[in-house]
């Protein structure tokens, strides 16, 4: 049996900008969920779900000591803070956008 | 912990418009050796150049006057050194103005340093390679306004050695503002990479102020933060090996936890094993976090390697004018009416005014910040239409504002609350220059 759980229930996140590049860090609340996040929260998934704004290559760095993942996303800010016509030119809200994803969890029966 | 040799450093501002009261509380009660006001970003540096173009005595942080007036007497009384990049595009004018304020406050003998040399227009030319558009500068077709290199601790240390009480810089790497007083106090060498890496981690955690003490963190029902209205600014108790405890004043609002520290540790970081500053290539991958009492997190084991041979430069260009106009629709069918209004503006701009814009139509409440990426359910009944474009002339910008305002009579029913703004804008791109070509300079003024 598996169930879908909002990423927001499993992890916290923050996004930041440099030029037209955005970075997004995601941390498991419970270290036991780090591996599930690592398996499912891939650059490919982010491109598939949010490719409309995450337009360039995405690199993912793993930080097992912090139970976190850091995504570095090129051409992800519609031009960057001084150029974008988006109200959120920093992409500050990208973290909240990604926390809207669902994660598939195997149900334990105990 | 060796409290005898603990350096206590606080953050007074984590961005250009940051709050002032938490900084004053920290100065009064934090027993600080140094306090850093970090006030420059790509956006605010560009604004600084815009301001200096209008008035050669401006271009520094617009809040400098209010901050210095409140901060200088407290810092003087507590023996706390102030380090800040509030000079933005004009550190010399900022230092002169600070001296004027100090004189009015009667702070005789105060030494104020201006650190300059970050402006490197002479190193940039038409053939300069721009990193992100990945092209030559001349290919942008834009007028360069200014180029600023990120300076490091080697630019700030001479000011500390000269005994400056207040050090005002322009563009300096944010963590360097913290690392310089630490390196001076503990006698860290400019090639002591591992310790500089640890100190850079401390600086990075501190540089955004409340972002490590519970600011920018709360998400009701998921991440609770006590008393966020009175969030305290951070204080680091730093040891000689670069390890530190991140904390805040006990009676301030907010929260210091491993979670707040983790979020800030990776904020605006790319490769966590190679966080580049002018001082060091810092490595955060081995970092250890441990609880050390209420609102206290102990940070260890950040490392570092050799500093880069090149310095990053932010180049500002004239970005023309940003025109934005908004009008609201509420009640049943609000989204449909807002959408219709947007389509009408596009039609009139295209066909009647032969304009390039508006380049962006947002339905605030339905689809705005995430419009390019996500389709959220369309159930909103209170929607604000936003039309935005870049214009090369004021006339072109005014046409957009006019057409959105005209929706009041010539658009869908029940639209109201029109607002329009035209803002001069500056764009920035990045390049690299050789470190040896950048010459930091120092000027000391005594009150």
Distance in Å from the first CA to the final CA of chain B: 38
Beta strands B360-364 and B81-84 are unpaired
Q: How far is A38 from chain B (nearest CA, A)?
A: 16
Q: Is the same domain home to B141 and B250?
A: yes
Query: Measured between CB atoms, does A37 come within 8 Å of chain B?
Result: no
Rounded to 5 degrees, φ, ψ at B2 are -85, 90
Q: Is the same domain home to B81 and B21?
A: yes
Measure CB to CB from residue B222 to each of A8, A14, A25 and give the nearest one.
A8
In a domain, B102, yes or no: yes
pLDDT (tens digit, 9 = 90+) per residue, B362-417? 999 999 999 999 999 888 999 999 999 999 899 999 999 999 999 999 999 999 99
Chain B residue nearest residue A25, CA to CA: B266
Domain housing B378: 332-413
Q: Is the same domain home to B15 and B83?
A: yes
Taking residues A65-84, what's their average pLDDT? Answer: 90
Q: How far is B374 from chain A (nearest CA, A)?
A: 7
Residue B203 reports pLDDT greater than 90: yes
Q: Is the same domain home to B388 and B346?
A: yes
Taking residues B344-361, what's their average pLDDT? Answer: 86
Task: Report the predicted TM-score, pTM, of the whole model to 2 decimal places.
Answer: 0.95
Rounded to 5 degrees, φ, ψ at A66 are -110, 0
Measure CB to CB from residue B373 to each of A50, A81, A82 and give the nearest one.
A50
Q: Cα dist. B268→A17, A72, B141, B206, B274 in Å?
A: 6, 9, 29, 13, 13
Q: Is the same domain home to B388 and B254?
A: no
pLDDT (tens digit, 9 = 90+) per residue, B106-140? 999 999 999 999 999 999 999 999 997 889 999 98
CB contact under 8 A, B426 and A82: yes
* B385 vs B390: CA distance, rounded Å: 17
Taking residues B11-33, what's their average pLDDT? Answer: 98
Q: Cα dist. B134→A16, A20, A74, B60, B318 in Å?
A: 21, 12, 12, 30, 19
Q: How many CB pairs under 8 A join A and B?
A: 119
CB contact under 8 A, A52 and B223: no
In a domain, B326, yes or no: no
Q: Is the same domain home to B399 and B298?
A: no
Count of structural domains within chain B: 2
Q: Is the same domain home to B291 and B406?
A: no
pLDDT band at B357 (very low <50, low <70, confident <90, very high): low
Residue A110 reports pLDDT greater than 80: no
* B308 vs B129: CA distance, rounded Å: 18
In a domain, B327, yes or no: no
In a domain, B115, yes or no: yes
Alpha helix locations (H) across B188-333? Answer: 193-206, 258-265
CB contact under 8 A, A65 and B264: no
Residue that wins the pLDDT comparison between B34 and B53: B34
Chain B residue numbers with beta carbons less than 8 Å from the beta carbon of A82 are: 42-43, 46, 319, 425-428
CB contact under 8 A, A70 and B266: yes
Residue B358 reports pLDDT greater than 80: no
CB contact under 8 A, A93 and B369: yes
In a domain, B422, yes or no: no
Taking residues B94-117, what's their average pLDDT? Answer: 98
pLDDT band at B88 (very low <50, low <70, confident <90, very high): very high
In a domain, B85, yes or no: yes
How high is the pLDDT of residue B377? 87
Q: How far is B80 from chain A (nearest CA, A)?
A: 31
How high is the pLDDT of residue B218? 98
Selected for mutation to probe chain B from A16, A55, A59, A93 (highest B CB count within 10 Å) is: A16
Q: Is the same domain home to B400 and B436?
A: no
Measure CB to CB from residue B132 to each of A14, A19, A29 and give the nearest one.
A19
Average pLDDT of chain B? 95
Q: How far is A37 from chain B (nearest CA, A)?
A: 16
Task: Give Cα B440 distance to the centre of its chain.
Answer: 22
Q: Is the same domain home to B39 and B136?
A: yes
How high is the pLDDT of residue A78? 87
In a domain, B258, yes or no: yes
- Please tell us whether the domain made up of A2-106 is placed in CATH 1.20.1250: no
Tokens of B149: 């290199």
Chain B residue nearest residue A28, CA to CA: B259
Q: Is the same domain home to B62 and B199?
A: yes
Chain A residue numbers with beta carbons less than 8 Å from the beta carbon of B374 are: 50, 52, 97, 100
CB contact under 8 A, B267 and A65: no
Q: Is the same domain home to B247 and B350?
A: no
Residue B141 reports pLDDT greater than 90: no
Q: Which of A23-37, B238-252, B307-321 has the lowest mean pLDDT?
A: B307-321
Chain B residue numbers with beta carbons less than 8 Å from the beta carbon of A23 are: 266-270
Residue A5 reports pLDDT greater than 60: yes
Across chain A, how many H-helices and E-strands are there? Answer: 4, 6
CB contact under 8 A, B427 and A83: yes
* B429 vs A44: CA distance, rounded Å: 28
Chain A residue nearest residue B221, CA to CA: A9
B47: part of which helix (H) or strand (E)?
Answer: helix B42-54
Cis status, amide bond into B358, omega within 30 of 0: yes
Taking residues A19-45, what's their average pLDDT? Answer: 96
In a domain, B146, yes or no: yes
Q: Is the same domain home to B353 and B211?
A: no
pLDDT (tens digit, 9 = 90+) per residue, B413-446? 999 999 999 998 888 899 999 999 999 999 999 9
Query: Measured between CB atoms, does A22 come within 8 Å of chain B?
Result: no
Contact B81, B34 (CB under 8 A): yes
């Amino acid at each position: 049996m598996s169930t879908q759980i909002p990423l927001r229930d499993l992890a916290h996140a923050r996004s930041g900008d440099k030029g037209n590049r955005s970075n997004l860090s995601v941390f498991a609340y419970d270290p036991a969920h780090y591996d599930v996040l690592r398996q499912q929260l891939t650059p490919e998934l982010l491109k598939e779900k949010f490719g409309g704004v995450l337009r360039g290559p995405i690199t993912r760095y793993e930080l097992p000591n912090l139970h976190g993942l850091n995504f570095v996303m090129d051409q992800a800010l519609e031009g960057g803070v001084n150029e974008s016509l988006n109200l959120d030119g920093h992409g500050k809200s990208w973290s909240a956008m990604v926390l809207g994803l669902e994660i598939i969890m195997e149900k334990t029966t105990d | 912990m060796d409290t005898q040799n603990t350096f206590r450093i606080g953050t007074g501002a984590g961005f250009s418009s940051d709050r002032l009261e938490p900084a004053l509380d920290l100065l009064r009660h934090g027993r600080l050796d140094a306090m850093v006001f970090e006030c420059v970003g790509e956006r605010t540096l560009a604004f600084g150049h815009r301001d200096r173009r209008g008035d050669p005595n401006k271009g520094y942080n617009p809040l400098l006057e209010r901050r210095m007036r409140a901060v200088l007497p407290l810092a003087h009384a507590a023996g706390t050194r102030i380090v800040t990049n509030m000079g933005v595009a004009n550190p010399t004018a900022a230092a002169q103005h600070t001296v004027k304020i100090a004189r009015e406050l009667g702070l005789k003998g105060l030494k104020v340093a201006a650190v300059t040399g970050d402006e490197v227009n002479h190193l940039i030319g038409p053939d300069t390679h721009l990193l992100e558009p990945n092209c030559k500068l001349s290919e942008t077709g834009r007028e360069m306004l200014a180029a600023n290199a990120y300076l490091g601790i080697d630019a700030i240390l001479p000011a500390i050695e000269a005994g400056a009480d207040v050090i005002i810089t322009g563009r300096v790497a944010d963590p360097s503002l913290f690392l310089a007083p630490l390196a001076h106090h503990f006698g860290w060498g400019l090639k002591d990479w591992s310790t500089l890496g640890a100190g850079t981690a401390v600086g990075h955690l501190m540089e955004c102020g409340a972002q490590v003490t519970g600011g920018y963190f709360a998400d009701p029902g998921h991440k609770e933060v006590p008393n966020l209205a009175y969030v305290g600014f951070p204080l680091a108790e730093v040891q000689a090996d670069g390890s530190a405890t991140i904390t805040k004043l006990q009676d301030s609002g907010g929260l210091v936890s491993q979670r707040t520290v983790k979020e800030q540790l990776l904020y605006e970081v790319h490769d966590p094993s190679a966080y580049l500053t002018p001082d060091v290539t810092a490595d955060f991958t081995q970092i250890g976090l441990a609880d050390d009492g209420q609102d206290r997190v102990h940070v260890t084991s950040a490392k570092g390697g050799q500093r880069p041979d090149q310095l990053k430069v932010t180049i500002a260009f004239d970005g023309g004018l940003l025109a934005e106009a908004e009008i609201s629709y509420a009640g049943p069918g609000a989204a449909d009416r807002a959408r219709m209004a947007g389509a009408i503006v596009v039609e009139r701009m295209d066909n009647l005014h032969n304009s390039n814009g508006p380049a962006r139509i947002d339905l605030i409440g339905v689809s705005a910040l995430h419009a390019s990426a996500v389709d959220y359910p369309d159930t909103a009944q209170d929607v604000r239409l936003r039309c935005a474009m870049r214009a090369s002339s004021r006339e072109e910008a005014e046409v957009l504002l006019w057409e959105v305002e005209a929706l009041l009579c010539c658009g869908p029913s029940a639209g109201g609350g029109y607002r329009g703004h035209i803002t001069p804008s500056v764009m920035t791109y990045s390049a690299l220059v050789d470190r040896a070509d950048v010459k930091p300079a120092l000027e000391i003024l005594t009150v």
